[in-house]
Structure 1
Amino acid sequence: MDKGEGNRTARPHLKVVPLAKARGMDSITRDSHYRMIRHFRRHWGPQMQLLIDQACFGVSGIEELADDKLIALHRDLERAMECIRDGVTFEDAGLLRPRYG
């Protein structure tokens, strides 16, 4: 840029600053969710596996789920456990999605 006298101003020294990574779930918390999800599967059987498979559609397993999806699955399994105890179907509780994708 010209200051009017033919002199150019010095170019500003710019540098790229990486965006701060959003803090995700720590490994201990993720492992705790994995253990609880596996516990639900062992204790309550194939009914829970259906919900796990639904949540993991398109990924290789629960370890590949994003933090929010992992937490949502854990909550769904807790809700499913209550449904089994109360005799409410997963369909009536809205736990089963009509289609995948």
Structure 2
Amino acid sequence: MDQQEIRALAREIAASRGGKVRAKVRHLSVVGSTVAPGLNALQRDVVYGRIRDLGNMYWLNWLIRQETAEVMGVMECLSDKELTQLLEKMERGRECRIEGIAFDEAGLVRESGC
């Protein structure tokens, strides 16, 4: 079957269903010229993994619980900004473990709000 036969067949099928065959093929296009700011789903997943790994490897799960208390301990409910701040604190906590710096001295421990 060549292109002309395929087009003729498409016209017949479209006509039997009450439609028309378009001359120009539609292509997908991206709407908007900029990418939305913030983390995409893949980036967030990588950050979640890194935070969990640091929590397990360096005994910093207490820091995750402290920073997610306002969202009932669900890290996935944090905003992009809060999530990146938590990652920075986790990295600082890792440095404290390695260098022997007290968490209080590093400013990582907050007063309990209970």
Does the 8 A contact of 1:80 with 1:90 survive in 2? yes
* Aligned Cα root-mean-square deviation (Å): 1.5
Give 2:53's aligned residue.
39
Does residue 76 of structure 1 match 2:89? Answer: yes
Which protein has the larger Cα radius of gyration, Structure 1 or Structure 2? 2
Runs of 4+ in structure 1 deviating by more than 2 angstroms, as ranges, are none
Distance in structure 1 (CA, Å) of the matches to 2:104 and 2:38: 32
Q: Which of 25, 44, 68 is the matching residue for 1:56?
A: 68
Please state which structure has a larger fraction of its residues in helix: 2
Displacement of 1:34 after TM fit? 0.3
Does the 8 A contact of 1:55 with 1:73 survive in 2? yes
TM-score, structure 2 normalization: 0.63
Per-residue CA deviation, residues 51-96 of structure 1 (Å, 9 max, x unaligned), is 1011101213110101001000000010011011111111000011
TM-score, structure 1 normalization: 0.71
Fraction of identical pairs, as percent? 33
